[in-house]
Amino acid sequence: MKREINGTPIYGISLDTNSRCVHYQQPNDIISIRFFCCGDYYCCFKCHEKLAHHKAEQWPKEMFNHKAILCGFCGTHITVHDYLESGYLCPSCNASFNPGCRNHYHLYFQQ
C-alpha cells in the first residue's frame, strides 16, 4: 500500500494518515524512514521486508546529514542526525516520536 504525506510517497501495510502501519499502532508511531538501499520511505523495517524486493541497508554514518526521516504528523523531512538528537520530538511541530524505535536503530543506521 502507498500513501502520500505532503507529496512524499510512503509504503507500508495498512497505513493510516500519520504513517502508522499494521506493525506499529501507538499514537507516537508517526515516523517513516527513507531506506538507504532504495531511497523509498517505509513506515517500518517489517513493511520494507514484506514489500521491497531487496535487502535493507543501513545509512552510513558519514551520510547522517541527509534527510531520511519523515514526521507523519506535519510532513517535515528530518536528517538522520537531527532525528537521533531530537529527544523523540519533531523539531518542526513538536509531535512525539516513539522512544522504543531506538531498539531498531541498528537496522536503519550504522552504529
Question: Which residues, 6+ apart, have CB-to-CB distance to 62 below 8 Å?
Answer: none
- Which of 17, 82, 62 lies closest to 43 in space, CA to CA? 17
Angle at alpha carbon of residue 18, lines to 78 and 5, rounded to 5°: 65
User: For 74-103, how does the pLDDT look when each residue is reduced to its tens digit (9 = 90+)?
Assistant: 999 999 999 999 999 999 999 999 999 999
User: pTM for the complete prediction?
Assistant: 0.94
- Kindly tell me the number of DSSP H helices and DSSP E strands found in the chain: 3, 6
Residue-level pLDDT at 66: 98
Share the mean pLDDT of the chain. Answer: 96
